[in-house]
Amino acid sequence: MKLSVPKGTKDILSNEMKKYRQIENIFSDVCNNYGYGEITTPVFEFTELFQRGVGETTDVVSKEMYTFLDKGKRSLTLRPEGTAGVVRSYINNGMASLPQPVKLFYMEKMYRYENVQKGRYREFTQIGLEAFGSNNAVIDVEVISLVNVFFEKLGISDLKLMINSIGCKTCRGEYNIKLTEYYKDYIDGLCSDCKVRYTKNPLRLLDCKVDNCQKVASNAPVFIDNLCEECKDDFTLVKQGLENLSIDFTINKTLVRGLDYYTKTVFEFVSDNVGTQGTICAGGRYDNLVELLGGKETPGIGFAMGVERILMELESRDINMVNEVFPKLYIATLGDNAYSFASKLTYELRKQNIFVDIDVTGRSLKAQMKNANKKNARYAIVLGDDEITSNKCKIKNMATGYEEEIFVDDISKTIIENKA
């Protein structure tokens, strides 16, 4: 039987892996400039973490988690998202005693059992960040501005920023009453999931993607019109802060996000590109999550985005993230003595951060030179017994065909100083 990868997973080959690394490097640089430190959490956690943190009525928990019993009969789940694990780490490692805010970013694999389609996998790479300890709306603006800088670094400057506020405990209770009152006349026509949401988590009624449910939601009371004074003031500060940085935004009154832990500011960066339409990055504030998971009351805010989704966006715009790197020198050899000398030379040059290639398969000299050409080596040198004895060899510019005689002892110096 021919084995293949499981559905929803893929091999990331060398050329594509370079693109992943480039995105991660740019993200890491931007985060470092904003004062964020990197964190990594276990690939699996106790299932209760996600049930409590993400919310049992969410699609992630109710439909998409990879959950299993270990040999001790404990229920464990492959992480479906990053925030809950980082919050758990913040609590477990006593980060509340550190100078606040505590700023953390991550780049990790996530796992969700969902319908596989272009840009959506069951194993995927997610980059994101979390900031704990500030209830001031200025950090909301800072986080959004970081995302904006990241996309600019990638060469993407025309994504649409959507923002909204979904309030706090105070105004959400009152809003949920209005929402359930509105929906009670439409219960029979809702999907089965929304019938459950109606009693367990009314706010998530607005996030349903079923056509009929969306039609009902389009005329529902909007949260932004039912905010308490504190949440109104916070949202005003967010808008003013974005305007001050000249970051364009649109208020999307139906934006609520799909996870239960969000409060106040929520946001999305959305693409209008054909073939990649939809959300590229999503996040928001979660002021109750740390306390919900057993810590002290601590405000928080964060976001996440899938690297595969970003790669789709870059490809659709013909943005090449990676410049191909070719050998600066290819050393072709004839005979054991020459290979022994060349291998030492190659080793020393590689320690100098110079990309040098040498044949390790026993090819003929003609085949070695063909290989140097295929690999787009900048220069090539042939070393045999005669060259080693005479201490002279020819270095060839593979692009022009020009050859120059140099001393064998000077190969390293010539390549390092790039005089050839």
**Final residue before a domain boundary, out of 264, 290, 316:** 316
418: left (phi over 0), alpha (psi -120 to 50) or beta: left
Alpha-carbon distance of 305 to 173, in angstroms, equals 30
Q: Is the same domain home to 113 and 249?
A: yes
Query: Quick one: average pLDDT of 166-177?
Result: 87
**Final residue before a domain boundary, out of 295, 316, 337:** 316
Closest CA to 264 of 164, 376, 166, 179: 166
Per-residue model confidence (pLDDT) at position 174: 87
Q: Is residue 233 part of a domain?
A: yes
pTM, whole model, 2 decimals? 0.88
Residue 274 has pLDDT above 60, yes or no: no
C-alpha 53: how far from chain center: 21
Among 131-140, 180-189, 369-378, 391-400, the range scoring the smallest mean pLDDT is 180-189
Q: Is the same domain home to 296 and 399?
A: no
Q: Is the same domain home to 121 and 241?
A: yes
**Final residue before a domain boundary, out of 286, 316, 346:** 316
Q: How many residues does the chain have?
A: 420
**CATH code at position 361:** 3.40.50.800
Query: Quick one: average pLDDT of 114-125?
Result: 87
Q: Is the same domain home to 257 and 388?
A: no
Q: Is residue 175 part of a domain?
A: no
Query: Quick one: average pLDDT of 236-250?
Result: 97
Paired tokens of 146: 């970081």
Q: Is the same domain home to 249 and 365?
A: no
**What percent of the chain is predicted at pLDDT more than 70?**
98
For the chain, the average pLDDT equals 92
Q: Is the same domain home to 351 and 306?
A: no
Per-residue model confidence (pLDDT) at position 21: 95
What single string gives the DSSP state of each residue in 114-126?
Answer: ---BTTB-SEEEE
**pLDDT tens by residue, 27-86:** 999 999 999 999 999 999 999 999 998 877 677 888 899 999 999 999 999 999 999 999
Q: Is residue 269 part of a domain?
A: yes
The number of distinct structural domains making up the chain is 2
SS3 at position 167 = coil
Per-residue model confidence (pLDDT) at position 259: 64
Q: Is residue 213 part of a domain?
A: no
Q: Is residue 198 part of a domain?
A: no
Q: Is the same domain home to 26 and 72?
A: yes
Q: Is residue 353 part of a domain?
A: yes
**pLDDT tens by residue, 219-241:** 888 888 899 999 999 999 999 99
Per-residue model confidence (pLDDT) at position 172: 83
Q: Is the same domain home to 258 and 361?
A: no
Q: Is the same domain home to 306 and 401?
A: no
> What range defines the domain where residue 26 resides?
14-168+228-316
Q: Is the same domain home to 115 and 246?
A: yes
Q: Is residue 223 part of a domain?
A: no
Q: Is residue 204 part of a domain?
A: no
Q: Is the same domain home to 365 and 305?
A: no
Q: Is the same domain home to 291 and 341?
A: no
Alpha-carbon distance of 412 to 81, in angstroms, equals 49
Residue 255 has pLDDT above 90, yes or no: no
